[in-house]
Structure 1
């Protein structure tokens, strides 16, 4: 097995390649983003402060000048603290897929209360949420939690439109988290619709799906800008957790994406056991690149088997009305991917030049352009 000499991605990683020094293309992608955004430099900070000045200027006379999505996790909670430090007037927005852990719920309450930030929460009907999750298990695809990501973004954009806000701030750091490899974790609104239509039992009435038309409307008509401040400044997750704990009483939930039961099930049970996918390599590779831990430490952690919580499996079976036999059939059943269902993938590829322009203008996330607008190995003509 060939492993990158800088991070811990190996040759099982989709669309990976290595240079003559054994450095993978994903490390090179991070280098390119560092150069583009001048991350952690004075120039990067000045660029961000220029954007922040524009946000304040455009938000004059309004109750809020930006929207920040919150999950109760480290990055979004820390971004709220920074936004207040920068003199912004954020509206915190949360999409409740009804699978939040009590720690996440308390974290959101603690941080927004301490910072005196208003919270807008959209709650999907829990039976409908469960029906969508169940559909993805029956489909046999790795993106069990895709509906949460799509729903969250749609709620963010809808809340911004409702309050006349042009700027959406997102707490993502490519330095701390990396960018997921091409070929992993693909999803869009058509994908959600396609899987649910085939395997769902209830109508989608309260789920905030995002169609292609809506996606383009938010970007080109409302011209909502997606800003990721942590792409411009130095950022340390351990330091962020320390600040959050000291200033707000925020509590750590034990690992990346474990603040929600659906994402916890995805990362600790479903993907590792059914597909052999261990998504710890994203954050571990990022930590190795930035020196938070050594590459050897990262490999040691990665090679330690994940210990799933048995109670979480019981919880999933009960909520999704799965017998032990149903669950076993799903875990041992066919492995499918987004290529087996209808998606917008080919459309995104065909419109790549347009999305490059929109990404440069922050009207769509740059990570969307990098991950979704290029052909993948073994791709077909799904559209």
Structure 2
């Protein structure tokens, strides 16, 4: 790989990645973090499989007499679609939950319908008013921060909690795999309820009524009082995304949408246009680095792909401008402005850090994702006292 950048000797994260460090062998801190998680969870080993078997036993036991025993968030993507299939194999009775930010691609909507119909799984959907959803996205665009679609991720988490509470379900299963996706560095990937609320208050034009905002109080209610557990099965068991995709295509006529996270149009804009053009950041390095670590792609091949322009959906920019009521001039003006960081706006970050001992206990009990604890509950390096 011909470059002046310092690149991890084990993946393709380079010195531009937020808060990256390298050991004496050139291995980055993120690779070490993933190795530690793999060891802790026993991913793909007897330890991991046994641990997950115990979790399945608890889910079934606590779900007796209830219509559903677990909640699964669905997007129409590979991971959540395959998770639906696996829950049936495991003998669970899932309720699929979807947060509709009104930017779904037609492919994603059809994927959800096909898989749920074939597996006879019920769907719980929360639809935010489209003008309100657009107003939140527009606010983040005007704020010049990277996390333009953070409101979607947080809303899905809140909606899954609400569905679990409504149906008295104690477990939420998530399709995340740190083996296939890594854990995205927090540099341009932060979100919480206060962050969304504060930016919308500064730049929004409509009241926030139908959007399911997760405040700190609600987050603590779901985790400390309701004790709804977040389980990520792929952290324990073997999971091959490519095999899963092939299975879904064969069994359910499921369609691929062109790339990781591209099943939703605002997310596609975020990954393929907004981050690369305004922030000079390309999150494809997460998936590509995972492929390298797993021996499915050479570092040279991954680096070459990473340095080719991302796939951009035809007319996506025009669609974005029309939805958010942006003239060509205003869009170009904002895209050319100096980027800002989430650290320049009000968030719960300092509170999360103060509550770190509590969140460590909650993470160990699967009441918050371990990735939340690792990313959100420690001071950022430049904030640490020297």
Residues in 1 aligned to 2:107 and 2:150: alpha-carbon distance in whole angstroms: 22
Equivalent of residue 140 in structure 1, options 130, 141, 144: 144
Partner of 2:295: 291
Provide TM-score, normalisation by structure 2: 0.97
Residues in 2 aligned to 1:358 and 1:25: alpha-carbon distance in whole angstroms: 24
**CA shift at 1:182, angstroms?**
3.1
Asked if structure 2 preserves the Cα contact closer than 8 Å seen for 1:107 and 1:250, the reply is yes
Residue 64 (structure 2) pairs with residue 39 (structure 1): no
Report the 3-state secondary structure (helix = DSSP H, G, I; strand = E; otherwise coil) of the residue aligned with 2:187: coil
Asked if structure 1 preserves the Cα contact closer than 8 Å seen for 2:188 and 2:341, the reply is no
Residue 185 (structure 2) pairs with residue 181 (structure 1): yes
Asked if structure 2 preserves the Cα contact closer than 8 Å seen for 1:267 and 1:279, the reply is yes
Residues in 1 aligned to 2:344 and 2:229: alpha-carbon distance in whole angstroms: 32
Residues in 1 aligned to 2:196 and 2:384: alpha-carbon distance in whole angstroms: 19
Report the 3-state secondary structure (helix = DSSP H, G, I; strand = E; otherwise coil) of the residue aligned with 1:183: helix
Equivalent of residue 96 in structure 2, options 64, 67, 92: 92
Deviation digits for residues 312-348 of structure 1 (CA, Å, limit 9, x no counterpart): 0000000000000010111011311111110000000
- Which is worse superposed, 123-132 or 36-45? 36-45
Over 3 Å counting, the alpha-carbon distance change for 1:231 and 1:208 in structure 2 is same
**CA shift at 1:294, angstroms?**
1.4
- Which is worse superposed, 327-336 or 206-215? 327-336
Report the 3-state secondary structure (helix = DSSP H, G, I; strand = E; otherwise coil) of the residue aligned with 1:14: coil
List runs of 5+ in structure 1 lacking aligned partners: none
Asked if structure 2 preserves the Cα contact closer than 8 Å seen for 1:339 and 1:380, the reply is no
Asked if structure 1 preserves the Cα contact closer than 8 Å seen for 2:229 and 2:368, the reply is yes
Over 3 Å counting, the alpha-carbon distance change for 1:272 and 1:380 in structure 2 is farther
Deviation digits for residues 28-77 of structure 1 (CA, Å, limit 9, x no counterpart): 00100010010011221111011001000000000000000000000000
**CA shift at 1:296, angstroms?**
1.3
**CA shift at 1:181, angstroms?**
1.2
Residues in 1 aligned to 2:245 and 2:184: alpha-carbon distance in whole angstroms: 23
Partner of 1:18: 22
Provide TM-score, normalisation by structure 1: 0.98
**CA shift at 1:307, angstroms?**
4.3
Partner of 1:374: 378
Partner of 1:277: 281
Equivalent of residue 52 in structure 2, options 40, 48, 53: 48
Report the 3-state secondary structure (helix = DSSP H, G, I; strand = E; otherwise coil) of the residue aligned with 2:315: helix
